[in-house]
Amino acid sequence: MAPEPSVSLRRAVPGDLPRLAELSERLADFGPPGWRSAREIVEGELRTIRRHLESPLPGAELFVAEAGDGVAAGSGATVTAESRAKIVGFVFVETLTDYFTERPHGHVGILTVARESQGRGVGAALMRFAEDWARGRGFSTMTLNVFDGNARARRVYERLGYSPETLRYIKALR
């Protein structure tokens, strides 16, 4: 596992969609449970990404990580086809309201890294960036949802200091 040489982050633009769709295929790689198809997981996440790229959702941001030199997050610099090909991961962050306190907080809605870039710190870099975004908005907590069976992602989150809070139970009704 070679370390990722350098990753830079910027806001996603509509032209990134084809690459984001490719990377979204990974979101069901962990092996969904019997009542949930891989297609519905990927399509569900892509729906959010498409909507956000068409018209930014309030309180949300979509950031991409590029291998090598890129443009700074938030910059309006031109994004070329070449730089799009270098996208190795992305994170979608949202503003949610805490059910108990009704206070706003950051939420990692979607996180994915290209298979060939896994295990080099790209996921951790995207998470740190997401946390900085949340701190910048004055939030004191960050949440995320992860499938129970996604052991790899859960390990990464736990290494980064996240703990399970509530557990969502589901039962297939016949």
Structure tokens at 156: 């990464």
- Taking a C-beta distance cutoff of 8 angstroms, is the pair 112, 48 a contact? no
- Taking a C-beta distance cutoff of 8 angstroms, is the pair 12, 46 a contact? no
- Taking a C-beta distance cutoff of 8 angstroms, is the pair 79, 71 a contact? yes
Structure tokens at 107: 């939420």
d(CA 130, CA 20): 17
Which residue lies nearer to ligand COA by CB, 118 or 138?
118
Which residue lies nearer to ligand COA by CB, 135 or 159?
159
Least Å distance, CB 134 to ligand COA, is 17
Least Å distance, CB 4 to ligand COA, is 6
Contact set with ligand COA (CB under 6 A): 1, 3, 26-27, 29-30, 111-113, 118-124, 146, 150, 152-153, 155-156, 159
In the complex, which residue's CB is closest to ligand COA?
123
Which residue lies nearer to ligand COA by CB, 77 or 160?
160
